[in-house]
Structures are given as structure tokens and as C-alpha cells.
A and B are shown apart, each in its own frame.
Chain A
Amino acid sequence: GAVVSQHPSWVICKSGTSVKIECRSLDFQATTMFWYRQFPKQSLMLMATSNEGSKATYEQGVEKDKFLINHASLTLSTLTVTSAHPEDSSFYICSARDSSDYEQYFGPGTRLTVT
């Protein structure tokens, strides 16, 4: 149990375009979802925390207008990278937690390359 999927697993896009990444909890209700970014050889950086039905809480330094997060249901959260630039190229990972569990379950990640 406790499976989280992400789609797409990798994406290449042109500079200036927008990219949407989906994160789904397949067999549990995710009251809270987290979005992380990881650059090569670095640790996970939390970008934002989203609770179902409410606005996401962004970490300091993360532009909320650039990284749009929607958590419209208990099983789906989306991250949209707007007007992507090459420096946004990274590994984006989501995780999900239900209200009764301490553990975060991670999705497989999405590798974004902006050319």
C-alpha cells in the first residue's frame, strides 16, 4: 500500500513554456502533499506544502506565481512551472501523507529539462 505516482516521469520543454506535473496517491487519501526540488548531488529542497482544499504554503525563496500548486482533491496535487527557464531544470519529487500517518510516501520524481 501507500503508493504515490507522478506524471510525467521526465519532460523536456522550451524556455518560456509551462509544464504541469501531477502527483497522485493511488491507495490512500493524501491530506497533505509536499513538493520538493533536487539539484544534482544536493539534498531535497522543500518547495511547498499543500493541504487539500486550501492554498499551498511556500518555502522562503520559492516564487508562488512561478510554481503554481493545486491540491484540489485528496488524491491529486499538481505543480505547474510557468514560463520555465533553463535554471528550472531539476528533479521534482512529490510526497504525500495522510492524517493518520507520520510517514511521507514519495513519488518516483519528474526530471524536467528546459532548453
Chain B
Amino acid sequence: GQNIDQPTEMTATEGAIVQINCTYQTSGFNGLFWYQQHAGEAPTFLSYNVLDGLEEKGRFSSFLSRSKGYSYLLLKELQMKDSASYLCAASDSNYQLIWGAGTKLIIKP
């Protein structure tokens, strides 16, 4: 079957670094997405990885290992506004997104 696993909740301190992990099993694979979702709002796109390695975009970076079915989202210099849910989604052979349940990130001052 198809499955995405990510932690339910994480807590970090303002100014610190946090890594949110995601493992996936899909029928075929066409890339791994990370989305940010604030409460009561729709998801917003953060990153897309289809090749192994690290993609850096400002304070956010995303890593993919296709052989391990593993990705992580790295957030640096955490700000209070980064408090949100972070959704991992894998694109399967039909380009359908298989969604994880989301990781709620709580930032403390």
C-alpha cells in the first residue's frame, strides 16, 4: 500500500534549527513535496525534490533519498511565524499526491 509517515508534533525554540522527517512508500515515485499550512488556511508550497540530495531555499532546505524512501525538511533561524503544520506529500506513478498527516511545529520564545 501507499503510506507516508511523519511525526505528529515537534517543539523548537525561536532562533534554533529543526528537522522534520518523512518516510514514504508509494506505487511509483515522481517527487516529494513539502507544504506549510497555518491553522484555518490552505497549504502553501515550500519545496519539491525528485533527485537525491539537498535543495536549499533561504531558511528552508529539503533533502531526499530515493533509495531509502526518506526526506526531511530543515528549518533554520526559526521564527515565531514558522509555527504551523508541515505536510509531506509524495507523488505516485499517476502524479497523485499521497499526503502525510502533517507535523505540527510549535515554536517557543
Residues of A that sit less than 8 Å from B by CB:
34, 42-44, 46, 49, 91, 93, 97, 102-109, 111
- 18 pairs, A vs B, C-beta closer than 8 Å: A43-B100, A43-B102, A44-B43, A44-B87, A46-B97, A46-B99, A49-B96, A91-B40, A93-B42, A97-B95, A102-B48, A102-B91, A105-B45, A106-B42, A106-B44, A108-B41, A108-B42, A109-B42
**Bound CA span A102–B44, Å:** 15
State how many angstroms separate the Cβ of A115 from the closest Cβ of chain B: 19
User: What's the minimum C-beta distance from A41 to chain B, rounded to whole angstroms?
Assistant: 8
Restricting to B52-104, which residues have a CB under 8 Å from any CB of A? 87, 91, 95-97, 99-102
**B interface majority secondary structure:** loop
What is the size, in residues, of chain B's interface with A at 8 Å between Cβ atoms? 20
Q: Chain A residue with minimal CB distance to B102?
A: A43
Hey, which chain A residues are within 8 Å of B44, CB to CB? 106
A105 to B35, CA, bound (A): 11
Which residues of chain B come closer than 8 Å to A104, judged between CB atoms?
97
Q: Beyond the given A43-B102, A44-B99, A93-B42, could you list 18 further A-B residue pairs with CB under 8 A, ordered by the A residue number?
A: A34-B97, A43-B99, A43-B100, A44-B43, A44-B87, A46-B96, A46-B99, A93-B43, A97-B95, A102-B30, A102-B31, A102-B48, A103-B48, A106-B42, A107-B42, A108-B41, A109-B41, A111-B40
In the complex, chain A residues whose CB is within 8 Å of the CB of B97? 34, 46, 104
Residues in A with CB closer than 8 Å to B45 are 103, 105-106
Q: What is the CA–CA distance of A46 and B48 in the complex, to the nearest angstrom?
A: 20
| Shortest Cβ distance from A6 into B: residue | B42
